[in-house]
């Protein structure tokens, strides 16, 4: 067998489900052909050759990391609101006074597509420097047809500018725009009848925010019915601030993921497990909002729900551009095991964006996306705070 490139002599955390735990392979090798993995194992096939051989010298190798929930495209920041929260103002009171999401909407609407791409690239580069090779990016700061499409185009442009896979989600049902504060029905109809149809081809999924200060379950059902009618899978911001049955709603529609879940109950956990919906845990938002209610990890675990971890990078509730920090937070704050947290930013994150067949583990046929670490034990990736142990990053078989 001839490989375009071969990495050998490393400790592989394959995340292959046919293996125990993280699927560790000692003194292992990864062979790549045409950007895809052609071999993973400890004993190379007889007569192998390679165009290039890279010695790993015992380093830990994982699949490229995946940040499966971000709001990476936006204009401006909300540092002033962060300071207000430090003085005791709540997320809800700030939003009621004209801050929150709508303040970012005004800036994002005013920004050009090129400006949105440029600022998003600054944030993206920090994630790539920690071994991220795939990312999900939501719209939701446009809240009108032209601005939502502008955001989705900007997200797509990131894939052209950097060596990264981008999955896009249309989040037009994020909050009511200022011009529709007194016309909820009209805005939901606009999302259903105009924005979703126009986003086909730009969006890989449709997301919504089901919350007391956002959209009701019945409104979300209208949005999800429209998404399904246009062949788009769905995701849901669920049960973050209130126990609104969001997990059950996500399960009802077979959502790729239900995200946040701080106030999900046992029935919600069972529904997610039955539907195969991934629970995406977002410790950055929990931390930044000083929430006191943690996601019910024990309930999710007991029900057999798959759990992913992401940054939720956004200007208001999670200004986090480090997926490694999210891993540490998931372990320390939420009680995930190291294996669960690392699976959460690889294997389960791939499921959350609907790309498990393409990435998320070191298996033959998948994209050769690797993160090679100056570490030997998986726990080191969760242990260090403020230290980036990445040695090198490989995207589709090419060092990058």
Residues 199 and 260 in one domain: yes
Joined tokens for residue 369: 């996306």
Residues 111 and 224 in one domain: yes
Domain count of the chain? 2
Residues 174 and 308 in one domain: yes
From CA 218, how far away is CA 225, in angstroms rounded?
11
> What pLDDT score was predicted for residue 186?
97
Q: Which domain holds residue 213?
A: 65-352
Residues 214 and 226 in one domain: yes
> What pLDDT score was predicted for residue 295?
98
Residues 161 and 59 in one domain: no
Residues 240 and 370 in one domain: no
Residues 256 and 268 in one domain: yes
From CA 146, how far away is CA 199, in angstroms rounded?
10
> What pLDDT score was predicted for residue 29?
98
Residues 292 and 219 in one domain: yes
pTM (predicted TM-score): 0.97
Residues 303 and 383 in one domain: no
Residues 374 and 246 in one domain: no
Joined tokens for residue 376: 């030997």
Residue 296 phi, psi dihedral angles, 5° rounding: -80, 70
From CA 311, how far away is CA 137, in angstroms rounded?
11
98: domain CATH number is 3.20.20.140
Q: What is the CA radius of gyration of the chain?
A: 21
Residues 335 and 190 in one domain: yes
> What pLDDT score was predicted for residue 93?
83
> What pLDDT score was predicted for residue 117?
98
Q: What is the pLDDT along the chain (400 residues), one digit of tens a residue?
A: 999 999 999 999 999 999 999 999 999 999 999 999 999 999 999 999 999 999 999 999 999 999 999 999 999 999 998 998 899 888 778 877 778 888 999 999 999 999 999 999 999 999 999 999 999 999 999 999 999 999 999 999 999 999 999 999 999 999 999 999 889 999 999 999 999 999 999 999 999 999 988 999 999 999 999 999 999 999 999 999 999 999 999 999 999 999 999 999 999 999 999 999 999 999 999 999 999 999 999 999 999 999 999 999 999 999 999 999 999 999 999 999 999 999 999 999 999 999 999 999 999 999 999 999 999 999 999 999 999 999 999 999 999 9
Burial class of residue 65, CB neighbours in 10 A (0-12, 13-18, 19+) = buried
> What pLDDT score was predicted for residue 66?
99
42: domain CATH number is 2.30.40.10
Residues 339 and 368 in one domain: no
Neighbours of 231 (CB within 10 A): 7
Angle at 63 between CA 62 and CA 65, to 5 degrees: 100
């Amino acid at each position: 067998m001839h490989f375009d490139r071969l990495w050998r002599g490393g400790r592989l955390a394959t995340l292959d489900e046919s293996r125990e735990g993280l699927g560790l392979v000692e003194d292992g090798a990864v062979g790549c052909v045409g950007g895809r993995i052609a071999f993973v194992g400890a004993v190379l096939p007889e007569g192998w050759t390679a165009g290039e051989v890279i010695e790993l010298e015992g380093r830990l190798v994982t699949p490229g990391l995946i940040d499966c929930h971000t709001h990476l495209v936006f204009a401006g920041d909300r540092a002033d609101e962060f300071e207000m929260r430090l003085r005791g103002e709540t997320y809800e009171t700030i939003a009621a006074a004209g801050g929150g999401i709508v303040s970012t909407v005004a800036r994002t609407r005013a920004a050009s597509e090129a400006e949105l791409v440029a600022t998003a690239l600054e944030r993206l580069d920090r994630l790539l420097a920690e071994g991220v090779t795939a990312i999900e990016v939501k719209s939701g700061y446009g809240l009108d047809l032209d601005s939502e499409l502008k955001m989705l185009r900007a997200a797509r442009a990131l894939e052209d500018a950097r060596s990264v896979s981008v999955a896009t989600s249309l989040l037009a049902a994020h909050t009511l725009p200022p011009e529709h504060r007194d016309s909820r029905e009209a805005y939901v109809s606009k999302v259903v009848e105009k924005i979703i149809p126009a986003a086909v081809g730009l969006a890989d999924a449709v997301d919504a925010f089901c919350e007391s200060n956002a959209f009701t379950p019945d409104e979300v059902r209208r949005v999800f019915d429209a998404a399904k009618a246009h062949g788009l899978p769905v995701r849901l911001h669920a049960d973050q601030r209130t126990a609104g049955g969001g997990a059950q709603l996500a399960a009802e529609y077979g959502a790729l993921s239900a995200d946040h879940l701080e106030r999900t109950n046992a029935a919600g956990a069972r529904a997610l497990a039955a539907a195969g919906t991934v629970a995406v845990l977002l410790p950055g938002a929990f931390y930044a909002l000083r929430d006191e209610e943690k996601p019910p990890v024990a309930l999710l675990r007991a029900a057999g729900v798959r759990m992913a971890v992401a940054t939720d990078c956004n200007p208001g509730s999670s200004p986090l551009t480090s997926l490694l920090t999210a891993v540490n937070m998931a372990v320390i704050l939420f009680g995930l095991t190291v294996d669960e947290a690392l699976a959460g930013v690889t294997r389960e994150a791939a499921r959350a964006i609907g790309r498990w067949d393409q990435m998320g583990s070191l298996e033959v046929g998948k994209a050769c996306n690797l993160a090679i670490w100056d570490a030997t034990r998986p726990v080191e990736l969760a242990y260090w705070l403020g230290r980036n142990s990445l040695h090198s990053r490989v995207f589709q078989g090419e060092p990058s």
